[in-house]
Chains A and B, each alone.
Chain A
């Protein structure tokens, strides 16, 4: 057992948790304001693709990260307009954003690089830097974001209004809160953060964008958010847990055996986050209560 539980595993867990932390914190803002964010997956892809293209062209990963965040913000704004202005079903609109980002990056990279599968390889020197033992710039940023989000959510007037909007928009409105404006802001913030997580995948963990490279991480982030009961500090731990699980699947392959001497099938470890989410949602591990107004469009006439 000792050969598995090493610092290498811990660092690997942090690396794998980093994109989840960004995306889940993003989802936190949107959902605490009352807008479901199934679109995290697509928003991450937008960030990953834009960051890869801009970094490749400019050789500047910080510019890449910034442009990735802007792309995520713009896409989130489109999502927000559909959900808030047109009162579209938030889950359906969110899935549409995910589908869009499944196809659009491939369409664009096919047209400019003549390759729909991936963007060109970025030089290793141009990626987001690592410090000490493989600790990425992005991981540090992600860990710093947790207390910042906590502070914003619980200690600022903006956070108070945001939470009020997600729980009882009518009361918040009566108290003079701009419900609609707040929701737009929250969804755009979620797009920026989720895109930062995606950007880390393409210009931190790897060195190019590949089709659908998030591979369900947006949904895992959503699962982490639910597991964490929509609170910033538990979000960190939920993401670390899922990151740890993913790291474990790489580590135990061929190392740990069942008592019968057979390998533990990776598929069963891969299932854990998903099974856990279902169990938590069903209320077996404490009650996970969503913001009251989650998913319900707000209009003043009602």
Chain B
């Protein structure tokens, strides 16, 4: 019965959102049936479609898990976007500094020249890739820990702080990119490309039926693994139990000998680390550099993914695939309908969140969330 309710209410929210957006499409004098047909079918026509859908879903699995872990501790992490930005820049930086080859650097004209790698010839891939991955996780985790510590030490609200830290992250990373790590003369705000030793393989190297232009890479497998690990952590370990206990009822947890402050910091650190993992797929797997505004608002979409997935790793996985499907489909809606643009995806997503929130997804006891 409980499981049925868990599945039913997100489904209802999605259905209701489709009805509302359908009415909006009708008002805009277009055909909702055609638009929805494109939206829902564009991900399943061929292996290429499926591959694209999965690659759209990959960053959303990470950010969805990030938001879900924080939620389980009673925290709303709106900062996944900032966390994945700093992580992506740091990952690209390590890839450049410890990578091989001559990389033209950087920034201001008088500093143009060739970067000297910290090690002659750079690190071999089996050291460089793990180092880059570790960087993504650690830097994301540190950026996530800041609002956690601020909340634990000063009681300041994590929602406001994470929003502020998002803006700070974007400004900070844009500063370093612009002044130090841009290729001279490049009109786009992006770092120099990382060497091949820091690349992670695409899945079509193992699965020949996937076309080569699909950016799906091993980060997807990592995302699936993280779903399993987060599940095990939250429900099969003592630490996960303590984290959830604080989310359920912080004063009861404290009475039971669990420190809510410590759990808040732990939850935000894990949350940030998960968001930082987006950098692994995008920097090492897809773009091979840090590119300003590379994120398709994945940090914010993660909130929708977590809510729809009811803060459970399996739910997050399914919800991320659903949103991956929408992201794939909206391109086709944009191209093949007369009036409906790809923004329909945003509208749908927003209304789904609103309905999920209204359908009492949260328990009324929000514990630590009550205080701003």
Residues of A within 8 A of B (CB): 36, 38, 78, 82, 86-89, 91-93, 95-100, 102-104, 106-108, 110-112, 116, 216, 219, 222-223, 226, 265, 267-268, 270-271, 274-275, 277-278, 281-283, 290, 294-296
In contact, B150 and A281 (Cβ under 8 angstroms): yes
Q: Given contacts A95-B300, A295-B370, are A103 and B344 in contact (CB under 8 A)?
A: yes
User: Chain B residue with minimal CB distance to A277?
Assistant: B164
In contact, B351 and A265 (Cβ under 8 angstroms): no
| Alpha-carbon distance A270/B170, docked complex (angstroms) | 10
In contact, B343 and A106 (Cβ under 8 angstroms): yes
Is B171 among interface residues, defined by CB-CB distance under 8 A? yes
In contact, B160 and A108 (Cβ under 8 angstroms): no
Question: Which of B78, B344, B357, B360 is in CB contact (< 8 Å) with A107?
Answer: B344
Q: How far is the CB of B266 from chain A (nearest CB, A)?
A: 20
In contact, A281 and B366 (Cβ under 8 angstroms): no
In contact, B351 and A100 (Cβ under 8 angstroms): yes
Could you write out 12 A-B pairs with CB less than 8 Å apart?
A: A91-B159, A96-B351, A96-B354, A99-B300, A102-B346, A107-B344, A111-B340, A267-B172, A278-B156, A278-B165, A281-B160, A295-B372
Is B76 among interface residues, defined by CB-CB distance under 8 A? yes
Which residues of A sit under 8 angstroms from B78, Cβ to Cβ? 91, 95
Which residues of B sit under 8 angstroms from A98, Cβ to Cβ? 350
Per the 8 Å Cβ criterion, residues 164-190 of B in contact with A are: 164-165, 167-168, 171-172, 174-175, 178-179
In contact, A278 and B161 (Cβ under 8 angstroms): yes
In contact, B339 and A216 (Cβ under 8 angstroms): no
Question: Which of A36, A107, A271 is in CB contact (< 8 Å) with B372?
Answer: A36
In contact, A277 and B160 (Cβ under 8 angstroms): yes
In contact, A290 and B372 (Cβ under 8 angstroms): yes
User: Chain A residue with minimal CB distance to B352?
Assistant: A96
User: Chain B residue with minimal CB distance to A220?
Assistant: B167
Additional A-B contacts beyond A104-B347, A267-B174 (10; CB < 8 A): A88-B358, A91-B76, A100-B354, A104-B346, A107-B24, A107-B341, A110-B339, A219-B167, A274-B167, A278-B164
Question: Which of A36, A103, A271 is in CB contact (< 8 Å) with B347?
Answer: A103
| Alpha-carbon distance A271/B350, docked complex (angstroms) | 28
Q: How far is the CB of A143 from chain B (nearest CB, A)?
A: 27
In contact, B350 and A107 (Cβ under 8 angstroms): no
Q: Given contacts A99-B349, A107-B347, are A274 and B300 in contact (CB under 8 A)?
A: no
In contact, B349 and A86 (Cβ under 8 angstroms): no
User: Chain A residue with minimal CB distance to B167?
Assistant: A274
In contact, A86 and B358 (Cβ under 8 angstroms): yes
In contact, B346 and A281 (Cβ under 8 angstroms): no
| Alpha-carbon distance A223/B318, docked complex (angstroms) | 36
| Alpha-carbon distance A95/B352, docked complex (angstroms) | 12
In contact, B370 and A296 (Cβ under 8 angstroms): yes
In contact, B343 and A103 (Cβ under 8 angstroms): yes
Q: How far is the CB of A187 from chain B (nearest CB, A)?
A: 15
Which residues of B sit under 8 angstroms from A295, Cβ to Cβ? 369-370, 372
Is B335 among interface residues, defined by CB-CB distance under 8 A? no
Contact with A along B285-313 (1 / 0, CB 8 A): 00000000000000010011001000000
Q: How far is the CB of B283 from chain A (nearest CB, A)?
A: 21
In contact, B339 and A111 (Cβ under 8 angstroms): yes
Q: Given contacts A107-B340, A268-B175, are A275 and B357 in contact (CB under 8 A)?
A: no
- The list of the 7 closest CB pairs from A to B, nearest first, reads A103-B346, A100-B350, A110-B341, A99-B350, A281-B156, A88-B357, A267-B175
In contact, B303 and A270 (Cβ under 8 angstroms): no
| Alpha-carbon distance A110/B24, docked complex (angstroms) | 13
Which residues of A sit under 8 angstroms from B160, Cβ to Cβ? 222-223, 226, 277, 281
In contact, B171 and A271 (Cβ under 8 angstroms): yes
In contact, B358 and A82 (Cβ under 8 angstroms): yes
Is B362 among interface residues, defined by CB-CB distance under 8 A? yes
Which residues of B sit under 8 angstroms from A116, Cβ to Cβ? 341-343
In contact, B349 and A265 (Cβ under 8 angstroms): no
Q: How far is the CB of A10 from chain B (nearest CB, A)?
A: 25
Q: How far is the CB of A158 from chain B (nearest CB, A)?
A: 24
Which residues of B sit under 8 angstroms from A294, Cβ to Cβ? 372
| Alpha-carbon distance A268/B167, docked complex (angstroms) | 11
Which residues of A sit under 8 angstroms from B349, Cβ to Cβ? 99, 103
Which residues of A sit under 8 angstroms from B345, Cβ to Cβ? 103
Which residues of A sit under 8 angstroms from B372, Cβ to Cβ? 36, 290, 294-295
Which residues of A sit under 8 angstroms from B370, Cβ to Cβ? 295-296
In contact, B154 and A281 (Cβ under 8 angstroms): yes
Q: Given contacts A106-B341, A216-B167, are A99 and B156 in contact (CB under 8 A)?
A: no
User: Chain B residue with minimal CB distance to A79?
Assistant: B354
Question: Which of B164, B354, B359 is in CB contact (< 8 Å) with A223?
Answer: B164
In contact, B360 and A86 (Cβ under 8 angstroms): yes
In contact, B341 and A282 (Cβ under 8 angstroms): no
Q: Given contacts A93-B357, A107-B341, are A99 and B76 in contact (CB under 8 A)?
A: no
Which residues of A sit under 8 angstroms from B76, Cβ to Cβ? 89, 91-92
Contact with A along B28-70 (1 / 0, CB 8 A): 1110000000000000000000000000000000000000000
